[in-house]
Amino acid sequence: MGKYKLGEIAAAVAGTVEGDATTIILGVGGIEEAGPEDITFVANKKYIPLLKTTNAGAVILGEGVEAPDLNVVRVAEPYAAFARVLAMFAPEPALPENVSDLAYIADGAAVDEKAAVGPFAVVDAGATIGAGTAICAGSYIGRDSSVGEDCIIYPNVTVRERVTIGDRVIIHPNAVLGSDGFGFATAEGVHHKVPQIGTVVVGDDVEIGAGTTIDRGTMGATVIGDGCKIDNLVQIAHNVTLGKGTILAAQVGIAGSTKVGEYVVMGGQVGLVGHIEVGDRVQIGAKSGIPKSIPPGEIWFGYPARPIMDTKRIEAYLKRLGELFDRVKNIERKLEGKG
């Protein structure tokens, strides 16, 4: 783990100490769990009141938040600073360090001498694995697929054939890349399979969550742009494209051929129909169902989803619906009384 003086931590995050810079910090913790030898942080206003009761030995704070009784590391971006502090206290990585005798590297596969492959992992014929990359136990890298440099492919991941993965990509356990797109041509009661001869292209600095599935293109590619972050159990269908920096929370589903722009953010369990376009920097609230294209920069929410202010307005009316029925009843009574 780690042992630092508070001053050392402040230096590492380009912050300044308010309090005792010689305080010894042995760990990190949430504001409610941290003890006198832990450092914590507040980036979300919701947790500011807990500054009065925390037992933390120090706290990382942004400008304008006061904690007079605590040792403070003052920074511009407390969440980013805390991320750096977490890295200082991170345990050793638990990844394979070389190519296991129990892995299967097929003839014609090219595993860089600085790559590692765990037991019972398979690198199939024609596949290439870049320097600094770890393929963990039980994972399968299919024929002619390539994994770039400094990637982590956690256990039991399946990457099928002809998939291309960039550098510094992290794929969490049991994710699937390159499964067939879901396409059938139905004739006389028989669903004939449409061959899925395309592939998947994943950019650099992408993270793909546990159990997430990304289908290959029917033809051409399903594309995950540089810097995309995809949470667990997300479904991405054939020929979807995600622009760079897009973030998908868990259990999102995107149907075939939909184009998602750059720096889009979707909450958990959002669903998008196929063949639509979602503009750059769109934000979609959790569990929304998106039935049509969304222009850049808009915030949508609901099922079916609308611009969020429309949804909120309807929600407000819904709460007053009973009152409206009463008012109409009243009017009717008055009119009857008058009639």
CA 165 to mean position of chain CA atoms:
17
Select from 54, 71, 164, 213 the one that contacts a copy of itself (CB under 8 A).
213
Q: Does 155 bind a copy of itself (CB under 8 A)?
A: yes
Select from 268, 279, 296, 307 the one that contacts a copy of itself (CB under 8 A).
268
Output 82-91 pairs: Cβ under 8 A, ≥24 positions apart: 82/28, 82/41, 82/43, 84/12, 84/13, 85/9, 85/12, 85/13, 85/28, 85/39, 85/41, 85/60, 86/28, 88/2, 88/4, 88/9, 88/12, 89/1, 89/2, 89/27, 89/28, 91/1
**Shorter beta-carbon distance to a copy of itself: residue 130 or 243:** 243
In order, the DSSP letters of 103-135 are SEE-TT-EE-TT-EE-TT-EE-TT-EE-TT-EE
Kindly list the catalytic residues: 238
**Shorter beta-carbon distance to a copy of itself: residue 22 or 125:** 125
The 166-205 site mask, x for binding a copy of itself (CB under 8 A), equals ----x-xxxxx--xx-xxxx-x-xxxxxxxxx--------
Select from 119, 132, 279, 307 the one that contacts a copy of itself (CB under 8 A).
119
β-partners of residue 158 are 140, 176
Q: Does 321 bind a copy of itself (CB under 8 A)?
A: yes
**Shorter beta-carbon distance to a copy of itself: residue 68 or 316:** 316
Is residue 214 a contact partner of residue 198, using CB atoms and an 8 Å limit?
Answer: no
Select from 8, 112, 144, 280 the one that contacts a copy of itself (CB under 8 A).
144
- Using a 10 angstrom Cβ sphere, with 0-12 exposed, 13-18 middle and 19 or more buried, the burial of residue 117 is buried
Q: Which stretch binds a copy of itself (CB under 8 A): 11-19, 48-56, 65-73, 207-215?
A: 207-215
Q: Does 140 bind a copy of itself (CB under 8 A)?
A: yes
Select from 10, 17, 25, 29 the one that contacts a copy of itself (CB under 8 A).
29
Select from 112, 149, 161, 204 the one that contacts a copy of itself (CB under 8 A).
161
Q: Does 122 bind a copy of itself (CB under 8 A)?
A: yes
Q: What residue has token string 């994994």?
A: 147
**Least distance from a copy of itself to the Cβ atom of residue 115, Å:** 18
Give the strands of the sheet with 277-278, arranged side by side: 110-111, 128-129, 146-147, 164-165, 199-202, 221-224, 241-242, 259-260, 277-278
**Shorter beta-carbon distance to a copy of itself: residue 22 or 279:** 279
The CB density around residue 92, as the number of other CB atoms within 10 Å, is 6
Q: Does 63 bind a copy of itself (CB under 8 A)?
A: no
Q: Does 89 bind a copy of itself (CB under 8 A)?
A: yes
Give the strands of the sheet with 72-74, arranged side by side: 16-18, 72-74, 58-61, 38-42, 27-28
Give the amino acid at 217: G
The 37-56 site mask, x for binding a copy of itself (CB under 8 A), equals -------x-x----------
The 222-261 site mask, x for binding a copy of itself (CB under 8 A), equals -----x-x-xxx-x-x-x-----x-x-xxx-x-x-x----
Q: Does 333 bind a copy of itself (CB under 8 A)?
A: no
Select from 16, 79, 131, 295 the one that contacts a copy of itself (CB under 8 A).
79
Q: Does 300 bind a copy of itself (CB under 8 A)?
A: no
Q: Does 210 bind a copy of itself (CB under 8 A)?
A: yes
Phi then psi dihedrals of residue 202, to 5 deg: -110, 130
Query: Considering only CA atoms, which of 96, 52, 60 is closest in space to residue 80?
Result: 60
